[in-house]
Structure 1
Amino acid sequence: MDFVIIDKEIAVLAPDYRAISILVDATNAGAGTMARQVLEEACDFVRNGGPPWSEAHLGSWADVYSKFGAKPNRTPCSAQALRKRVEKDGRIPAINPLVDLYNAVSLRYAIPVGGENFDAYVGNPRLSVADGTEEFDTVMNGERVIENPAKGEVVWRDDHGVTCRRWNWRQGTRTRLDAVGGRMWFILESLGTMSEDALDGAADMLFGGLRQLAPGCEVLRQKVSAA
């Protein structure tokens, strides 16, 4: 069985869906640092209009969101949400080196990038269409709450429940990744309006940054698709 499971319904919504999964085991890795200010550089890149495929690719994500009933202007894909913040404010605030790294990759390549604490997973990551009964751990007004996705909503999930709602819009608290360490899982998600070379470039940037932050980590990198 593949490490990442893509349910067959996804091919109907987005037959051109392709992604790269990066599973990192940093249990015995060293402690490193980023050599460059990657987040600031990525914000500058966006402010200067890059990358050239951003409008088409983010437009494709908006179209796919509409297909499963989401409203992309209200709940955009994660890459669109980051880009809007940079276009409005010029910068997004730094959080920590790990989150800054995958946000920088998302901005520079106009691609949704998810980062998860794989040690909190129960079973394998699965991209599926919700039946509406699944549980999603989140926080509202400072309190932990359980939500249910809408029936027909595309979600990432494991055997316990939903880990990310509306494809890649909002991450849950149970598997949230806050710092380098243990087992970490990343997913870079693209549609047909982003080239294979660009997808590989985004994965290379993330892979290189992870090697700097966790020298000696073990990495499993795999391509997955709706097909």
Structure 2
Amino acid sequence: MNANLREFLDQAYVADEIFELRPDYRALLIAVDGIEPGESNETSEAMLVDAENHANKLLEETAVTELPHIADWREAYKAFGAKPSRTRNSLEALTRRAAKGLPRVNRLTDIYNAISVKHQIPLGGEDIDKYVGALHLVRATGEEDFATFSAGEPEIEHPEVGEVIWRDDESVTCRLWNWRQCARTGLTDQTTTAVFILDALGALSDEELQAAGAELAERVKELGTNVTVEQRLIAHNV
């Protein structure tokens, strides 16, 4: 599967129009195979507690909207017409939740949520086996489908024209860059092959981005006896 992971990452792309919007944008993609699904455990719990404590310490000194990377993402949202106070990027949403406790889902999701908060970076995880074709980041035409749920029932939404979306060859996989993931490709308790997207803007240095990716890779390698990991950095003029 390792060769397939490499092929999956090599086919991913970020459209030029995204770099025109934010030349400082970088996407670190980490693809993983061989995950053995499991419930939350002592390791993931300890990581979540550490992340909660870190977030609470940050918020004692700085308002959540003024934390550097969150502030950067709020500006990025405004640039393509989104309202960051109504549709919060995933990092801001998780950081705000830290005071009352981050969600406990399963050990894979717990790990990436903890790393997102600890390293202050939007970080999404999706099931590669549910993808149709390549992963790419573009601005929406407004005609794309987005599979979600409303009041517990399946529903199809459509992004706004010009909205930044992750998508594959079938439909939208994540709206507003890193706001809400679709129902189709989300991680489940049965996921064994996943891709993680670490979104960085200028407030997060290359070194900090690589540190977050390194910790994620290290942790997911502990989730099975034959876990393989591939990664790729996509950046402007790289």
Report the TM-score when normalising by structure 2: 0.87
What is the match of residue 146 of structure 2? 136
Are 1:15 and 2:23 an aligned pair?
A: yes
Could you tell me which of 75, 82, 91 is aligned with 1:63?
A: 75
Q: Matches of residues 1-227 of structure 1 in structure 2 within 5 Å?
A: 2-26=10-34, 35=43, 37-49=46-58, 55-87=67-99, 89=100, 91-179=101-189, 181-227=191-237
Amino acid at match of 1:67: A
- Describe the superposition over 1:128-184 as per-residue Cα deviations: whole angstroms up to 9, x where unpaired: 000000000000011001011001000000000000000010000000102364321
Q: Distance in 1 between matches of 2:187 and 2:116?
A: 16
- Describe the superposition over 1:39-90 as per-residue Cα deviations: whole angstroms up to 9, x where unpaired: 11110111111899x8111111000000001000110110011111114x2x
Q: Distance in 1 between matches of 2:103 and 2:182?
A: 21
Asked if the contact 2:38/2:107 (under 8 Å) is kept, the reply is: no
Asked if the contact 1:43/1:92 (under 8 Å) is kept, the reply is: yes
The 1:150/1:34 distance shift into structure 2, 3 A limit, reads same
Asked if the contact 1:24/1:217 (under 8 Å) is kept, the reply is: yes
Q: Distance in 1 between matches of 2:30 and 2:172?
A: 19
Task: Provide structure 2 residue ranges, at least 5 long, that are not aligned to the other structure.
Answer: 1-6
Amino acid at match of 1:12: E
Q: Distance in 2 between matches of 1:107 and 1:180?
A: 24
- Describe the superposition over 1:2-27 as per-residue Cα deviations: whole angstroms up to 9, x where unpaired: 33210010011110001210111117
Asked if the contact 1:138/1:144 (under 8 Å) is kept, the reply is: yes
Identity %: 39
Q: Distance in 2 between matches of 1:35 and 1:73?
A: 33
The 1:185/1:176 distance shift into structure 2, 3 A limit, reads same
The 1:8/1:44 distance shift into structure 2, 3 A limit, reads same
- Describe the superposition over 1:188-207 as per-residue Cα deviations: whole angstroms up to 9, x where unpaired: 11001111111011111111
Pairs aligned (count): 223
Matched position secondary structure for 2:82: coil
Q: Distance in 1 between matches of 2:123 and 2:20?
A: 22
Matched position secondary structure for 2:111: helix
CA RMSD of aligned residues (A): 2.2
Question: Which structure has the highest helix share of the two?
Answer: 2
Amino acid at match of 1:68: F
Task: Provide structure 1 residue ranges, at least 5 long, that are not aligned to the other structure.
Answer: none
